[in-house]
Chains A and B, each alone.
Chain A
Amino acid sequence: MTDTSAPTRIRPAVTKPFDGWRWSGRFFLVLLLIFTVMPMAWMLITSLKTGFAAMQYPPQWWPAEPTLENYTRLLDPRNAIGQDFLGYFWNSMWVSTATTVMAVIVAVPAAYAFSRFRFPGRTFLFFAVLLRNMFPAIVFLVPLFILMRLLGLVNTHGSLILTYLTFGLPLAIWLLKGFYDNIPIQLEQAARIDGATRFQAFFFIVMPLSTPGIIATAIYSFIGAWNEYIYAYTFLTKHDQMTLPVGIQRFFSENATDWPGLMAATFMMSVPVVVLFLVLQKYFVQALTEGAVKH
């Protein structure tokens, strides 16, 4: 049999000169990665320990007797914490999703209006919507609580959704306006020439082009609502209405902390956000780089 394969081309060995800057950069990135991942890894490891093992020193880098007990008690609706935790989870999911949907529904046309229309007071209004986000949340706590009380919304998820919109919506409008600004107006004009109404041009031309921006905005809104603590703990008192950030406080007692339970709950709380990022990251990255090149 004859060997018909092409002769192997032997490349001369090339020794690249040591690139100090490149290796320093890589080293720095590895350090940064460790710095970023370590807390999450430690959270996961602690969640696999018993209460006693979590308090050992030197710490057990990996538990001698790993246990899933902290997770099973959180997920078992037959015990009190399991029942409550699943409730907190769904409450958070409902409040965050509702906030996100409402923020997007309102922000999309509002941002478009700020981007495309010129009207008196436009600049003032545009900055005014962001005014709310220039003050710390605590400043608005009591006034908003009194307002919610007058509206009969204390101890309802409506109080949280409305409150979260007060800081989520301005951010969403600002983010989306940046997107619309980068979509050439000529595309809409072409559609209008072809007979589309302004609404059709917006819905069929602008919206699809701004999908990454809408998704990025939605992610921001969702995470903001998902992690919010101070309003949730003030406006809600009843256990069956609490959201996750408030609910996981029950791992702190007056004189002790259930660290493994707390870590398991925190780990589970981070899962939806991580999944959201994994599923939508291509849009998120696209959104981040969209404005990099000016059209």
Chain B
Amino acid sequence: MTNSHDRAKRSGSPARGQVVARMIATATAASLMSTTVYAQAVDLSQWSPEYIRSIAGTATYDTAADCGAVVPNDYAGKVSYWYTGPFEADPQIAHDQDKAFWEAFKAAYPNIETDVQSITYNELLDKFRTALLGNAAPMVVRLQILGGVEFAAKGYLNPLAPEDVGYASADFWPGALKSVTWDGTGYGIPTNNETMAFIWNAKIFADAGLDPERPPATWDDVVAYSAQIHEKLGIAGYGLVAKQNAGNTPFRFMPTLWAYGGGALDETAAEPTYDTIELNNEGSIAALQAAYDMYVRDQSVPTSALTNTQAENQGPFIAGQLAMMIAHPAEYAKMVDLASKATGADKEVADAVVENMRYGLIPEGPARRAVVFGGSNIHVVKPEYVDGGAIDEQAVKALICMWTSPEWSTKLAWVGSNPGHLGGFKTEWMKERLDTIKFLDVTTSMLPNGIPFPVLPEAPEIMNIIVPDMLQNALTGTMTVEEAANDAAAKVEELRSGM
């Protein structure tokens, strides 16, 4: 992290006292950076649902004291922060945990003034882009997974590593750290790690003659199940999502594409170089063909798939008109929340839907089982782009230390995903989550199958525009499957070559 005082140097010669103060501050910061609050938290080589359950509740943390070792609790300063907090459609517990965090931060750092703005998911990136152009950004921002790379590549972010706030890089999932690394330097710290799962309606499976307790094992099975469900019951089998320029289209299509052995670039490789375009390889074409088979040949997915995001699939799923979909871990919590607010006859139907909801691993393909490694990361903005032209480094560190701690990275991801800090899996709160949130272990089990999107500034355009366009071109018959894949590959080539 760059010291905010560096900026003042440019505006004139500092006084002698300022130089001494700066030297002391720098030395203090350097010494603090060299210490870590926690040792490596968990053994990733043993990762399994059983292992997760076995370590949950085995460690206790005193977050205020631990972060106090990084930034003294009596530090007086100011920090501004933008993030996507809980909004009206989120379950109550998300609101409660968010409120609890800010109370805890105030208690731990009573002299740090906070200017906190919660901005909706769909607005945050554009708003942040504009704020940067006007030098009116906050000191700290929490962005969806690839946001950081775009801004790091453009030079808007300060380098930031877990060690800067007292943690070890080993305390974070390697794939998550990869997603905040640009040109060999880390520019953020993961706050949470999301992986989705496959959900299905057990009653529909039973009615269609399928085993209600067994999800499709492969993507070929998904195609076959979808056709069978549609043929027998006249409803949609699989909740395909193919809306153009919708972030959640690649979140649902890339797992299929990767499973068949495809890729946007070579992001599935152990050491990706992002030099090879794989959108038109055999695996990618097979995945596109599977989508085509369901949408065009079998017509067993919603016809509205071309304009659907996941939000539009929730209705038919709840209404028993859609059997299977890839969904977020929060989906179950959302259903329970909706059911709890239903009344009268609706209540019975809602309870039945919740009862019939099942979570399973996302199906495998010929190459692998895959899921998008998602989540959000916290970043520090360079002082010159911040409102006021300076950052309060200690206040920034205090906030990031608290937010990414084992305690709060667990609590703030309560119904949604997994803690960014691996130590979170050992907390009592993780144990409470596993005990109270049904299917949490399933989504958590998908983590080792997580593949981050290509860590490139162009990734948002590839994922949000080129991939959905490829789907649309094939599904609408504008192009054949092969043509659509080749067209997408050519567009990526063009984009990467800067044309």
Interface residues of A (CB under 8 A from B): 50-57, 64-65, 67, 80-81, 141-142, 145-146, 148-149, 154, 233-234, 237-239, 249-258, 261
- Name the A residues within 8 Å of B349 (CB-CB): 52, 56
Instruction: Say yes or no: A53 contacts B346, CB within 8 Å.
Output: yes
How many residues belonging to B are interface residues under a CB distance threshold of 8 Å?
Answer: 48
- Name the A residues within 8 Å of B89 (CB-CB): 251-253, 256-258, 261
Q: How far is the CA of A250 from the CA of B344 in the complex (A)?
A: 28
Q: Residue B316 at the A interface, CB < 8 A? A: yes
Tell me whether A255 and B339 are in contact in the complex, defined as CB-CB below 8 angstroms, given that A65-B345, A233-B127 are known contacts. Answer: no
Q: Which of B49-105 contact A (CB under 8 A)?
A: 82, 84, 86-90, 95
- Name the A residues within 8 Å of B337 (CB-CB): 51
Expressed in whole angstroms, the minimum distance between the Cβ of A234 and any Cβ of chain B is 5
Q: How far is the CA of A56 from the CA of B314 in the complex (A)?
A: 10
Q: How far is the CA of A252 from the CA of B89 in the complex (A)?
A: 6
- Name the A residues within 8 Å of B328 (CB-CB): 255
Extra A-B contacts (8), CB below 8 Å, given A57-B319, A64-B345: A141-B130, A148-B134, A154-B134, A237-B82, A250-B120, A253-B121, A256-B314, A258-B89
Expressed in whole angstroms, the minimum distance between the Cβ of B415 and any Cβ of chain A is 10
Tell me whether A254 and B346 are in contact in the complex, defined as CB-CB below 8 angstroms, given that A52-B341, A55-B315, A146-B133 are known contacts. Answer: no
- Name the A residues within 8 Å of B130 (CB-CB): 141-142, 145, 234
- Name the A residues within 8 Å of B300 (CB-CB): none
Instruction: Say yes or no: B319 contacts A255, CB within 8 Å.
Output: no
Instruction: Say yes or no: B338 contacts A254, CB within 8 Å.
Output: no
Instruction: Say yes or no: B86 contacts A56, CB within 8 Å.
Output: no
Kindly list the 3 A-B residue pairs having the minimum CB-CB distance in the complex, ordered from nearest.
A57-B319, A55-B315, A253-B89
Instruction: Say yes or no: B86 contacts A154, CB within 8 Å.
Output: no
Q: How far is the CA of A261 from the CA of B87 in the complex (A)?
A: 11
- Name the A residues within 8 Å of B318 (CB-CB): 52, 55-56
Tell me whether A255 and B88 are in contact in the complex, defined as CB-CB below 8 angstroms, given that A56-B346, A65-B346 are known contacts. Answer: no
- Name the A residues within 8 Å of B416 (CB-CB): 255
Tell me whether A250 and B117 are in contact in the complex, defined as CB-CB below 8 angstroms, given that A52-B338, A55-B315 are known contacts. Answer: no
Interface residues of B (CB under 8 A from A): 82, 84, 86-90, 95, 117-123, 126-127, 130-131, 133-136, 310-311, 314-316, 318-321, 328, 330-331, 334, 337-339, 341-346, 349-350, 416
Instruction: Say yes or no: B133 contacts A250, CB within 8 Å.
Output: no
- Name the A residues within 8 Å of B341 (CB-CB): 50-52
Instruction: Say yes or no: A142 contacts B346, CB within 8 Å.
Output: no
- Name the A residues within 8 Å of B87 (CB-CB): 250-253, 258
* Contacts between chains A and B (CB distance < 8 A), count: 117
Minimum CB distance partner of A53 in chain B = B346
Minimum CB distance partner of B117 in chain A = A237
Instruction: Say yes or no: B136 contacts A149, CB within 8 Å.
Output: yes
Instruction: Say yes or no: A253 contacts B344, CB within 8 Å.
Output: no
Instruction: Say yes or no: A52 contacts B339, CB within 8 Å.
Output: yes
Expressed in whole angstroms, the minimum distance between the Cβ of B313 and any Cβ of chain A is 10
Minimum CB distance partner of B321 in chain A = A57
Expressed in whole angstroms, the minimum distance between the Cβ of A228 and any Cβ of chain B is 15
Minimum CB distance partner of A49 in chain B = B346
Instruction: Say yes or no: B346 contacts A256, CB within 8 Å.
Output: no
13 contacts between A and B (CB under 8 A): A50-B341, A51-B338, A52-B346, A52-B350, A64-B345, A67-B343, A146-B134, A148-B134, A154-B134, A238-B117, A253-B87, A255-B328, A255-B416
Expressed in whole angstroms, the minimum distance between the Cβ of A125 and any Cβ of chain B is 30
- Name the A residues within 8 Å of B345 (CB-CB): 64-65
Instruction: Say yes or no: A249 contacts B346, CB within 8 Å.
Output: no
Q: How far is the CA of A131 from the CA of B492 in the complex (A)?
A: 37
Instruction: Say yes or no: A237 contacts B119, CB within 8 Å.
Output: yes
Tell me which of A52, A56, A141, A253 contacts B90 (CB under 8 A): A253
Q: How far is the CA of A55 from the CA of B89 in the complex (A)?
A: 13
Expressed in whole angstroms, the minimum distance between the Cβ of A257 and any Cβ of chain B is 5
Tell me whether A255 and B315 are in contact in the complex, defined as CB-CB below 8 angstroms, given that A50-B346, A65-B344, A233-B123 are known contacts. Answer: no
Q: How far is the CA of A252 from the CA of B309 in the complex (A)?
A: 12
- Name the B residues within 8 Å of A250 (CB-CB): 87-88, 120
Instruction: Say yes or no: A257 contacts B350, CB within 8 Å.
Output: no
Q: How far is the CA of A145 from the CA of B130 in the complex (A)?
A: 8
Q: How far is the CA of A234 from the CA of B117 in the complex (A)?
A: 13
Minimum CB distance partner of A64 in chain B = B345
Q: How far is the CA of A56 from the CA of B315 in the complex (A)?
A: 6
Instruction: Say yes or no: A149 contacts B135, CB within 8 Å.
Output: yes
Instruction: Say yes or no: A57 contacts B88, CB within 8 Å.
Output: no
Instruction: Say yes or no: B123 contacts A256, CB within 8 Å.
Output: no
Q: How far is the CA of A238 from the CA of B122 in the complex (A)?
A: 17
Output the residue of A57, A142, A148, A255 with the most chain B CB within 10 A.
Answer: A255
Expressed in whole angstroms, the minimum distance between the Cβ of B62 and any Cβ of chain A is 30
Minimum CB distance partner of B318 in chain A = A55
- Name the A residues within 8 Å of B118 (CB-CB): 239
Q: How far is the CA of A64 from the CA of B338 in the complex (A)?
A: 16
- Name the B residues within 8 Å of A67 (CB-CB): 343
